[in-house]
Amino acid sequence: MTDRPCLFVTRRLPQAVMEFAHSRFRCTSNPQDRPLCKEEIIEGAQGCQALLCLLTDTVDSEVIEALPGLRVISNYAVGFDNIDLDAATRRGIPVCNTPGVLTSATADLTWALILAVSRRIPEADRYVRAGSFQGWDPLLMLGRELSGRALGIVGMGRIGRAVAKRAQGFDMRILYSKRTPLPPEEALPQAEHVSFEALLGESDIVSLHLPYSEQVHHLIDARALQTMKPGAILINTARGALIDEQALVEALKKRELAGAGLDVYEHEPAVHPGLHDLDRVVLAPHIGSATVEAREKMGFMAAENALAVLQGGQAHSIANPQVLDSKT
């Protein structure tokens, strides 16, 4: 079919997704197994009506203005802070994202980090591999049980609620901070809405699940870390810039916190100096959605979003729906 719209994909996605994209679009994709710079995105997407990009791609006003034929930007992610939403809206270009499909995968990884830090799993693994294990010892690698402890969830969206539901199986007290309490149809009976300061002061584990914006840049700063309970654990599977990483390093070195589990970093792929050197920090390479199921669902949704916009249909999720209102 020669009338299929043109789509540029900025990074190789799961095979099933690429096959779907080729069946619905005149699809071209990044031949390099690495993120593209802005100039490469502009070159690759010239003449295309649709751009399927990743959170690691910078799609700013320069990119958007250099692609006059662009009619839709579909982000392979829940967040879209890599895209200049205002510039896209000025051009009347819908920006789509992929919420919902990675909820379970990210909630599972959050719990993997909670357990890994609480029970010192990576540290114990390194200990055995180094040949240091000499047999059972009553004081060896003592961790912490979760039952009866307080889990504080900052940001109670889909992923935050999924994390809270899993906490019920561990018999934990659940606190959450959000501008307004959850409506009754979304609320969990065991979850208590508290202020951010109260959550920090009362939680044994603080887990971040809110989108990034300038208003929450370094939400967890030196002051917030000092407010946390001595011996608490900090988990971040949301956005790296929510944490002042230097302040975190200092708090961990002083043993003010028991540990941290991080899947995201402020200046990815760089990891802040000092984090590598701390035994009780578990570092993951941004794999919150890294399951076969989640990554395929994300890809199908991203491609379907682009196709729906180009065909005048309804996309699964649009970050700037006002552009559609202006066209009706």
d(CA 86, CA 105): 30
Catalytic residue, from 149, 239, 280, 295: name it.
239
Q: Catalytic annotation on 158?
A: no
d(CA 292, CA 247): 35
d(CA 44, CA 271): 30
Catalytic residue, from 11, 286, 296, 316: name it.
286
CA angle 43, 46, 49 (to 5 degrees): 140
Q: At what angle do helices 15-24 and 292-310 cross, to 10 degrees?
A: 10
Strand order in 50-53's β-sheet? 26-29, 6-9, 50-53, 72-75, 95-96
Query: E strands of the chain, at which residues?
Result: 6-9, 26-29, 50-53, 72-75, 95-96, 150-154, 173-177, 191-193, 205-208, 232-236, 257-262, 281-283
Q: Catalytic annotation on 276?
A: no
Catalytic residue, from 192, 202, 256, 268: name it.
268
Instruction: Give just the sign of the alpha carbon dihedral 192, 170, 188, 78.
Output: positive
- The half-sphere exposure of 251 on its side-chain side, counting CA atoms within 13 A, is 27
Q: Residue 183 has what DSSP assignment?
A: P
Q: Catalytic annotation on 286?
A: yes
Active site residues: 239, 268, 286
